[in-house]
Structure 1
Amino acid sequence: MTLEQLKVFVAVARALHMTRAAETLNMTQSAVSASVAALEASCGVALFHRVGRRIELTEAGRVFVPEAEAVLARAGAAETILADLSGLRRGRLSLHASQTIANYWLGPLLNRFHELYPDIALEVVIGNTAQVAAAVRAGEADVGFVEGEVEEALLARVAVPGDRLVLVVAAHDPRAELKALTPADLLDMPFVLREPGSGTRQVFEDALRASGLDPSQLKVVLELPSNEAVVSAVAAGAGATVISDLVTASGLAMGTLKQLPLTLPARRFYALRHADRYNSRAAQALLALVREPEAVPGIAPAAPVSRPRPRARR
Structure 2
Amino acid sequence: MNFHQLHIFYTVLERGSFSAAAQTLHMTQPAVTMQVQALEDYFGTKLFNRSTKKIVLSEAGHTLMPYAIRSIQLMRETDQAMSAFTHMLEGRLQLGASLTIGEYVLPRLLGPFGKQYPNISIMMKVMNTSQIMEEILKHQLNFGLIEAPVTHPDMVIEPVMGDELKLIVPHDHPLAERQEVALEEVLQHPFVLREQGSGTRRVMEEQLFSKGLDPGTMKIVMELGSTGAVKSAVEAGLGITIISTSSVKHEVALGLLKIVNISDASFKRQFYAIHLKSTLLPISAVTFLTFLREHSNDN
Q: TM-score, normalised by structure 2?
A: 0.60
Note the 1:51-70 alignment, pairs <5 A: none
Letter in 2 for 1:146: I
Deviation at 1:117, TM superposition (A): 5.1
Q: Which residue of 2 aligns with 1:271?
A: 273
Question: What CA distance in whole angstroms lies between the structure 1 residues aligned with 2:139 and 2:199?
Answer: 21
How many residues align? The count is 217
Question: What CA distance in whole angstroms lies between the structure 2 residues aligned with 1:175 and 1:109?
Answer: 32
In the alignment, structure 1 segments of 5+ residues that lack a partner are: 1-70, 79-87, 301-314
**3-state SS of 1:237 partner:** coil
Q: Which residue of 2 aligns with 1:191?
A: 191
Deviation at 1:288, TM superposition (A): 3.6
Deviation at 1:270, TM superposition (A): 1.5
Query: Mean alpha-carbon deviation: is it higher for 203-212 or for 136-145?
Result: 136-145
Question: What CA distance in whole angstroms lies between the structure 2 residues aligned with 1:110 and 1:274?
Answer: 23
Pair 1:202–1:280, CA change in 2 (3 A)? same
Pair 1:237–1:100, CA change in 2 (3 A)? same
Name the larger-Rg structure. Answer: 2
Q: Which has the higher contact order (CA 8 A, sep 6+)?
A: 2
Question: What CA distance in whole angstroms lies between the structure 1 residues aligned with 2:155 and 2:24?
Answer: 21
Q: Which residue of 2 aligns with 1:104?
A: 104
Question: What CA distance in whole angstroms lies between the structure 2 residues aligned with 1:150 and 1:166?
Answer: 24
Deviation at 1:159, TM superposition (A): 1.8
Pair 1:223–1:139, CA change in 2 (3 A)? farther
Note the 1:205-284 alignment, pairs <5 A: 205-262=205-262, 263-284=265-286
Deviation at 1:274, TM superposition (A): 1.7
Are 2:90 and 2:120, in contact at CA under 8 Å, matched by a contact in 1?
yes
Q: Which residue of 2 aligns with 1:37?
A: none
Letter in 2 for 1:268: Q
Which segments of structure 1 move beyond 6 Å, counting only runs of 4 or more? none
Deviation at 1:144, TM superposition (A): 0.9
Query: Mean alpha-carbon deviation: is it higher for 239-248 or for 127-136?
Result: 127-136
Are 1:171 and 2:171 counterparts?
yes
Question: What CA distance in whole angstroms lies between the structure 1 residues aligned with 2:239 and 2:271?
Answer: 27
Pair 1:255–1:92, CA change in 2 (3 A)? closer
In the alignment, structure 2 segments of 5+ residues that lack a partner are: 1-19, 28-87
- Summarize deviations over 1:56-75 as a string: whole Å, max 9, x none: xxxxxxxxxxxxxxx9x959
Deviation at 1:166, TM superposition (A): 0.5
Deviation at 1:215, TM superposition (A): 2.1
Question: What CA distance in whole angstroms lies between the structure 2 residues aligned with 1:134 and 1:209?
Answer: 31
Question: What CA distance in whole angstroms lies between the structure 1 residues aligned with 2:291 and 2:196?
Answer: 31
Question: What CA distance in whole angstroms lies between the structure 1 residues aligned with 2:123 and 2:25?
Answer: 13
**3-state SS of 1:140 partner:** coil
Pair 1:236–1:209, CA change in 2 (3 A)? same
Q: Which residue of 1 aligns with 2:160?
A: 160
Deviation at 1:255, TM superposition (A): 2.4
Letter in 1 for 2:211: S
Q: TM-score, normalised by structure 1?
A: 0.58
- Summarize deviations over 1:12-48 as a string: whole Å, max 9, x none: xxxxxxxxxxxxxxxxxxxxxxxxxxxxxxxxxxxxx
- Summarize deviations over 1:134-170 as a string: whole Å, max 9, x none: 4434543211112223333432133233221101121
Pair 1:138–1:221, CA change in 2 (3 A)? farther
Are 1:165 and 1:244, in contact at CA under 8 Å, matched by a contact in 2?
yes
